[in-house]
Amino acid sequence: METKVWVVDNVVDKKSSYPQILQAAALLRANEVVAFPTETVYGLGANAASTAAVKKIFQAKGRPSDNPLIVHIADHNQLEEIAADIPRVAYTLIEQFWPGPLTLILKKKGNVICDEVTAGLSTIAVRMPAHPVALALIQESSLPIAAPSANLSGRPSPTSAMHVLADLNGKIAGVVDGGETGIGVESTVLDCTTEIPTILRPGGVTKEQLEQVIGRVNVDAALLDEKQVPKSPGMKYAHYAPKSPLIIVDGEPFFLQQLVDKQRALGKQVGILTTEERRHVYKADVVLACGERANLSTVANRLYDTLRAFDDTDVEIIYSESFPADGIGAAIMNRLKKAAGHQIVREK
Ligand code: AMP
Ligand code: MG
């Protein structure tokens, strides 16, 4: 299949970008899959009410069918059509964080949303993205849109239309190209069916931000101890991995350099993932800076692009610096650990 590319600007001015949005929305209504930008990463959207459409998402991505999808909405009225017994805390969070990178797990209502979206669970994941293109597209389609990240399963999530095409060209009906995404890591997944809301996946809204609004928030045990079974089915899968093995180094630059030197002495091509502040400190075959350590949101923004960039080099092994795991750092370290298959070397 030929994958159409619609270049739009993020203002979604009715005159210049609307014809493209209307074409993409028409394909969604025809139960085709279309990738589009959100404020987190690019999503791969399809009509959440259609089994045939949703199956196309799983097929294009090679995603295991037991990994449920997030339903994206553009209008608050859509929420009560698909979720039941919505607790007060959810409304408080919606008021504060929607549109935005917060996905709520709620009780599923009726059978508007097909079972493939929720992987047969009695709960549903919902969010309203804070991106003018995503909102316009969902509004024009008049559908709830199921959308996982628009990458092949296991690969780093896409933060540009180029990443989407690298993985899915020829496999999907189209991609709306709205430039690079802002946050760069996925939404926070928060289970609101537990008495105290529980973070199942750290993401664009931090635990600290949630707690400021609703008080205590729990963290799924599996995020703290990798031997526990995660409550979010998708969190058990290896993910985000570059093609060469990645090892996280928790230690000083000198220690990381020693590890690199050892590998190079064995004749290996070695890559280092660092930040702008330290890019000139290291010596390796490829040194890539991923944002600024002094501003971790820039690291989140660059993370997937940097992981993908290593795939265009000849490195055989990659060493990455470690980051503080609070604030947006929780999401960065969660993704980095998954990309590394939990291989971490500690200095002491
Ligand atoms: P992605 O679409 O790639 O951003 O992944 C969506 C994430 O949301 C995965 O980790 C899913 O397991 C999780 N998710 C979706 N629906 C549910 C649900 N009903 N309960 C728990 N986790 C969910
Ligand atoms: Mg994903």
Residues in the chain: 348
Q: Which ligand is nearest to the CA of 44?
A: 1
What per-residue confidence (pLDDT) applies to 224?
A: 86
Q: How far apart are CA 224 and CA 241, in angstroms?
A: 20
Q: What is the mean pLDDT of each run of 10 residues along the chain (348 residues)?
A: 92 73 97 98 98 98 95 97 98 98 97 96 98 96 98 96 98 97 97 97 97 97 84 78 94 98 98 97 98 98 97 97 97 96 92
Report the 10 Å Cβ neighbour count for 237.
15
Contact 207, 182 (CB under 8 A): no
| Ligand 1 contact, 150 CB (< 6 A) | no
What per-residue confidence (pLDDT) applies to 9?
A: 82
Q: Look up residue 102 and give its two tokens.
A: 């917060």
Identify the architecture of domain 246-346 in CATH: 3-Layer(aba) Sandwich (3.40)
| Ligand 1 contact, 259 CB (< 6 A) | no
| Ligand 1 contact, 117 CB (< 6 A) | no
> In CATH terms, are 4-233 and 246-346 the same topology?
no
Q: How far apart are CA 324 and CA 345, in angstroms?
A: 15
Tell whether pTM > 0.85.
yes
pLDDT tens digits for range 279-296:
999 999 999 999 999 999
Distance 186 CA to ligand 2 centre (A): 8
Pocket test for ligand 1, best of 63, 116, 189 (most atoms within 8 A of CB): 189
Q: Where do the structural domains in the chain lie, given as residue ranges?
A: 4-233, 246-346
pLDDT tens digits for range 65-78:
999 999 999 999 99
Q: Look up residue 54 and give its two tokens.
A: 């949703």
What per-residue confidence (pLDDT) applies to 13?
A: 65
What per-residue confidence (pLDDT) applies to 270?
A: 98
Contact 67, 90 (CB under 8 A): no
Q: How far apart are CA 29 and CA 69, in angstroms?
A: 18
Residue (of 64, 48, 147) closest to 103 by Cα position: 147
CATH assignment of 4-233, given 2.30.130.10, 3.90.870.10, 3.30.1490.20, 1.10.260.40? Answer: 3.90.870.10
Residue (of 93, 145, 151) closest to 311 by Cα position: 151
